Amino acid sequence: MRTYEILEDAGRRARAYCEQIQSRRVAPTREAVEGLSNFDCPLPERSMEENEVLAMLDEFGSPATVGTTSGRYFGFVIGGCLPVTVAANILAAAWDECAGRNVVSPLGGRLEEVALRWLIELFGLPQGCAGGFVTGATMANFVGLAAARHAVLERAGWDVEAQGLQGAPPINVVVGDEVHVSVLQGISLLGLGAKRVARVPVDQQGRMIAAKLPTLSPLSIICTQIGNVNTGGFDPVAEVIEQAREVGAWVHVDGAFGLWIRTDPKRADLAHGIENADSWATDAHKWLNVPYDSGVVFCKHDAAIRGAMAECASYLVAGEGREPSHYTPELSRRARGIEIWAALKTLGRAGVSDLISRSCEHAQHFASLLQRAGFEVLNEVVANQVLVSFGESDKTQRIIRAIQDNGTCWCGGTIWQGRSAMRISVSSWATTSEDVVRSAAAIIQAAERS
């Protein structure tokens, strides 16, 4: 007999995991990773008790996780998860709502609608802007660019969803030289050719130089970026939009984490004017700190995104409310509005703003501690990203490996404009000043020993 007692066991284990993550090593030990072989058994012929299965997951899985929810995980741009979002996610798993259609999940549909409205207001995007809930910024970029492709070709009298790209008027895609790979992937999936794009030169912070944009046309799609994964730099989107407007080109904004800067009054100016773009991509699983996976696409033109995502336009039934599946490529999927709603309801505008500005201040603190110790910070720390060089490339690489092995914190490496660097991204609600001080000390010690 199956009962639901096991959920209490899961709740206890989840709580214990969350409570100890802050004191655990950030990277798992080698033994813990080797322990994953315990999962690798032949396909079971017989059943096993559920609680034993759960115990196995916890015993061998929990120690082998990378502690990305720790306050001292600074790799890539990751973010942890707020306790209320973990709890909401557990409830959401019990609900198992299939969020593609309101008839299957009025709950999922309603929470998405509210979350979308709140996010539009929070970011200062145009009122009545459309949006869809997807896996992450990769898919959000893809959907935004699909809407762009739909719109520019429709203006040229071409129905791309019906006719495809063969024989279509050529689209000119423009990106900054520091474009995120996910945008190029979207371009490639949409048949626009990742290598056919015009690449605009960038400055030392990786920001597109607006004066170097190519000649634009109504068939141009310009992909801008706010929040470079290395420097945290912001493209001059307002200037790009000014040029695009003259010819009626489409402007897309990749704001995977950078869009959140709009909630911090002290730094919102970095992303000024982006509200005049046509489409935007962001992540909730990064800086809002909700569990994976959670990205959001926004599009000023409801008909363009619906046209691009439609299953052959048969969806246009008059008087219909918002159908979640009209704004994403998927039909069956999880109800991502649940955790976003819970995070925004808990934090409020002030709480989100505080989360963003705190992260940026921690990044500045990091930079100043490392500079004071004599190391070079390669970027202007305008947001939550810090790039540090320890001199020679080999030495920088050695120090990065040493800090990852040490376990106090976790930072990754990158190559920034030809130079090897350690990258620090502060994206978690859990990071405290003490975490920064302790991590910087560990980094400095690792550097002195290397």
DSSP class of 43: P
Q: Is 235 in the site for ligand PLP (CB under 6 A)?
A: no
CB burial readout 300-310, b (16+ within 10 A) else e:
bbbebbbbbbb
Distances (CA, A) of 417 to 216, 228, 363: 27, 13, 21
CA dist., res. 357 & res. 60, Å (int): 37
Stretch that binds ligand PLP, among 56-64, 110-118, 130-138, 204-212 (CB under 6 A): 130-138
| Helix spans in 213-321 (H) | 237-247, 302-309
DSSP class of 49: -
Q: Which of 122, 256, 261, 342 binds ligand PLP (CB under 6 A)?
A: 256
- List the interface residues with ligand PLP, window 103-122 (CB under 6 A): none
Query: Which residue, 254 or 275, has its beta carbon nearer to ligand PLP?
Result: 254
| 247: nearest Cα among 283, 214, 290 | 214
Tokens describing residue 103:
């008839």
- List the interface residues with ligand PLP, window 58-97 (CB under 6 A): 77
For the chain, the maximum distance between any two Cα atoms, rounded to a whole number of angstroms, is 69
- List the interface residues with ligand PLP, window 139-158 (CB under 6 A): none
Q: Is 229 in the site for ligand PLP (CB under 6 A)?
A: yes
| 147: nearest Cα among 135, 161, 137 | 161
Query: Which residue, 180 or 336, has its beta carbon nearer to ligand PLP?
Result: 180
Q: Is 233 in the site for ligand PLP (CB under 6 A)?
A: no
Query: Which residue, 250 or 257, has its beta carbon nearer to ligand PLP?
Result: 257
Whose structure tokens read 């001292």? 72
**Minimum CB–partner distance for residue 383 and ligand PLP (Å):** 11
Peptide bond into 177 cis (omega under 30): no
Q: Which of 26, 99, 130, 137 binds ligand PLP (CB under 6 A)?
A: 137
Contact status, residue 26 vs residue 407, Cβ threshold 8 Å: yes
Contact status, residue 443 vs residue 411, Cβ threshold 8 Å: yes
Contact status, residue 313 vs residue 161, Cβ threshold 8 Å: yes
**Minimum CB–partner distance for residue 181 and ligand PLP (Å):** 8
Query: Which residue, 140 or 344, has its beta carbon nearer to ligand PLP?
Result: 140
Query: Which residue, 294 or 325, has its beta carbon nearer to ligand PLP?
Result: 294
Contact status, residue 120 vs residue 275, Cβ threshold 8 Å: no
Size of the site for ligand PLP (CB under 6 A): 14
What are the backbone dihedrals phi and psi of residue 306, each rounded to the nearest 5 degrees, phi first? -65, -40
Q: Is 264 in the site for ligand PLP (CB under 6 A)?
A: no
Q: Is 207 in the site for ligand PLP (CB under 6 A)?
A: no
Tokens describing residue 73:
């995980």
Tokens describing residue 286:
């990064």
Q: Is 297 in the site for ligand PLP (CB under 6 A)?
A: no
Query: Which residue, 171 or 229, has its beta carbon nearer to ligand PLP?
Result: 229
**Minimum CB–partner distance for residue 281 and ligand PLP (Å):** 7
Q: Is 364 in the site for ligand PLP (CB under 6 A)?
A: no
Q: Which of 264, 278, 283, 339 binds ligand PLP (CB under 6 A)?
A: 283
Stretch that binds ligand PLP, among 240-248, 252-260, 270-278, 334-342 (CB under 6 A): 252-260
Q: Is 295 in the site for ligand PLP (CB under 6 A)?
A: yes
Q: Is 178 in the site for ligand PLP (CB under 6 A)?
A: no
Neighbour count for residue 224 (Cβ, 10 Å): 30
**Minimum CB–partner distance for residue 84 and ligand PLP (Å):** 21
Stretch that binds ligand PLP, among 48-56, 125-133, 225-233, 417-425 (CB under 6 A): 225-233
Stretch that binds ligand PLP, among 46-54, 109-117, 134-142, 309-317 (CB under 6 A): 134-142
Which residues, including other chains, have CB under 8 Å from residue 242's CB and lie 6 or more apart?
Answer: none
C-alpha dihedral, 293 to 180 to 370 to 209, nearest 10°: -140
| Residue of minimal Cβ distance to ligand PLP | 136
Rg (CA), the chain: 23
Q: Is 289 in the site for ligand PLP (CB under 6 A)?
A: no
Which residues, including other chains, have CB under 8 Å from residue 212's CB and lie 6 or more apart?
Answer: 200, 201
**Minimum CB–partner distance for residue 406 and ligand PLP (Å):** 26
**Footprint of ligand PLP (CB under 6 A):** 77, 136-138, 180, 182, 225, 227, 229, 254, 256-257, 283, 295
